[in-house]
Amino acid sequence: MLDQNNELTAWDRDHFFHPSTHMGMHARGETATRVIATAEGVYITDVNGRKSLDAFAGLYCVNAGYGQQKIADAIAAQAKTLAYYHSYVGHGTEASIKLSKMIIDRAPQGMSRVYFGQSGSDANETNIKLIWYYNNVLGRPEKKKIISRWRGYHGSGLMTGSLTGLDVFHKAFDLPFGPIRHTEAPYFFRRPDRTMNKEQFAQSCADKLEEMILAEGPETIAAFIGEPVLGTGGIVPPPAGYWEKIQAVLTRYDILLVADEVVTGFGRLGTMFGSDHYGMKPDLITIAKGLTSAYAPLSGTIVSEKMWQVLVQGSDALGAIGHGWTYSAHPICAAAGVANLELIDELGLIANAADSGAYLRAELAKALGDHKNVGDVRGEGMLAAVEFVADRDDRVFFDPALKIGPQVSAALAERGVIGRGMPQGDILGFAPPFCLTHEEADIVVQATVEAVGAVFENV
Ligand SMILES: Cc1ncc(COP(=O)(O)O)c(C=O)c1O
CA of 233 to the centre of ligand 1 (A): 12
Return the SS3 of 122: helix
Helix (H, G, I), strand (E, B) or coil at 41: strand
Please state the atom number of ligand 1 nearest to the C-alpha of residue 232.
Answer: 16
pLDDT of residue 1: 41
Question: Which atom of ligand 1 is least distant from the CA of 264?
Answer: 1
User: 121, 146, 149, 166: which to mutate for ligand 1, most atoms within 8 A of CB?
Assistant: 121
pLDDT at residue number 6: 84
**Overall pTM surpassing 0.95 (yes/no):** yes
Q: Measure Cα distances from 311 to 86, 133, 399, 441 in Å.
A: 21, 8, 49, 46
**Measured distance CA(202)–CA(205) in Å, rounded:** 5
Query: In sequence order, what E strands does 173-240 have?
Result: 180-183, 221-226
| Cα angle: 390, vertex 396, 399; to 5 degrees | 65
Q: Cis peptide before 176, with omega less than 30 degrees from 0?
A: yes
What is the predicted pLDDT for the residue at 4?
57
Domains and CATH numbers, the chain: 34-64+348-456 (3.90.1150.10), 70-346 (3.40.640.10)
Ranges under pLDDT 50 in the chain: 1-2
Give 256-313 as a DSSP string: EEEEE-TTTTTTTTSSS-HHHHHT---SEEEE-GGGTTTSS--EEEEEEHHHHHHHHH
Among positive and negative, which fits the CA dihedral 85, 87, 91, 96? positive
Cβ pair 385, 379 in contact under 8 A: yes
CA count, 13 A, side-chain hemisphere, 76: 6
Q: Whose CA is nearest to atom 1 of ligand 1?
A: 262
Return d(Cα 274, Cα 227) in angstroms, integer. Answer: 8
Where does 382-437 have alpha helices with state H? Answer: 404-414
